[in-house]
Structure formats: C-alpha cells, structure tokens
C-alpha cells in the first residue's frame, strides 16, 4: 500500500457549472492539451485552477511549475485537498497515455481526462494511478438545483 493514499477516493463529484468551465478551458486550448488543478473535499470539487501547458503540445502536457506551486499554496490556504489534476486529450480517448502514467506524481489525487475526440460530446473519465497501475474511478456530475 502506498503511504498516504486516502481510502475515500471512490471518485469525483463535480458541480455542473465547474464541469462546463473545465470543458470550456479544454476547448479554448484545442488543438493543444489544456491542463489544470481541481481542489475540493473528499472528492467533491469546489475550486478549479486552469494552468498553462509548458509543452504546448497536442499529445502531452506539463503544468507551468510556478503556477502549480502557487495553486498548491492556495489550496492549502483555503483548507482544501488536491482532488485531481485534469488535462485534455484533443485527438485521443479519455484514457491515460504511457506518459500520463510515467508522470503520475500525485498518487493520492485523481487524474481527470477530458477527451475532445468527439467534439460535441466530450468524454470525461477519472483515474487513479499508483505505481504504474491504472484504476478507473467514478465521475458524478452534480446538477444544479
């Protein structure tokens, strides 16, 4: 067992309006990969922080390091948890690439992938990657009441 892995990571709960903003960011970056950070509590997303992709690539991403540090500090200040790191796949399915697995440095958070392969219907999936092992997690969109 990996030290520090939370037991309650059944999946993510994302309010509809936040999900819309994440998808809008992915579309804005298209045809490049867009990426960013999601913070919340117990898998329920409360804040969304888009970051720059220093790779400027349509097949991989690397979050802008200074922005990433600033966001991590902000999350801690707000008393939230690093729930997920998200990025888009402009041309491929919502499944982690080999590089995504190799670069999964935060095993106690999830990886959310937004595939824009089918432009009108983005595919959204979450995974937990621990020591190279990929496990699919639930994504629940919370409708506004």
Using the contact rule CB under 5 A, the part of the chain among 7-15, 18-26, 70-78, 91-99 near Zn ion is: 91-99
Q: How far is CA 71 from CA 27, 52, 75, 133, in A?
A: 22, 12, 6, 27
Q: What's the rounded Cα separation, in Å, for the pair 86 and 106?
A: 12
Using the contact rule CB under 5 A, the part of the chain among 24-32, 47-55, 72-80, 97-105 near Zn ion is: 97-105
Q: What's the rounded Cα separation, in Å, for the pair 58 and 134?
A: 22
Number of residues that bind Zn ion (CB under 5 A): 2
Least CB distance from residue 129 to Zn ion, whole Å? 11
Using rule CB under 5 A, residue 100 touches Zn ion: yes
In the complex, residue closest to Zn ion by CB: 100
If the CB atoms of residues 81 and 100 are measured against Zn ion, the closer one turns out to be 100
Least CB distance from residue 92 to Zn ion, whole Å? 8
Least CB distance from residue 12 to Zn ion, whole Å? 17
Least CB distance from residue 99 to Zn ion, whole Å? 7
Using rule CB under 5 A, residue 29 touches Zn ion: no
Three-state helix/strand/coil letters over 80-136: CEEEEEEEEECCCCCCCCHHHHHCCCCCCCEEEEEECCCCCCCEEEEEEEECCEEEE
Least CB distance from residue 13 to Zn ion, whole Å? 22
Using rule CB under 5 A, residue 97 touches Zn ion: yes
Q: How far is CA 17 from CA 21, 36, 77, 137, in A?
A: 6, 16, 23, 21
Give the interface with Zn ion as residue ranges (CB under 5 A).
97, 100
């Amino acid at each position: 067992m990996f030290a520090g892995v939370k037991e309650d990571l059944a999946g993510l709960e994302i309010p509809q309006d936040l999900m819309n903003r994440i998808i809008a960011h992915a579309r804005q970056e298209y045809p490049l990969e867009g990426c960013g950070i999601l913070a919340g509590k117990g898998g329920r997303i409360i804040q969304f922080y888009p970051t720059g992709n220093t790779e400027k690539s349509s097949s991989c991403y690397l979050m802008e390091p200074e922005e990433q540090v600033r966001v991590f500090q902000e999350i801690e200040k707000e008393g939230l948890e690093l729930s997920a790191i998200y990025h888009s796949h402009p041309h491929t399915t919502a499944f982690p690439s080999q590089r995504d697995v190799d670069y999964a440095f935060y095993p106690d958070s999830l990886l959310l992938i937004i595939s824009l392969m089918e432009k009108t219907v983005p595919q959204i999936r979450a995974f937990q990657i621990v020591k190279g092992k990929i496990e699919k997690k639930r994504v629940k969109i919370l409708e506004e009441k």
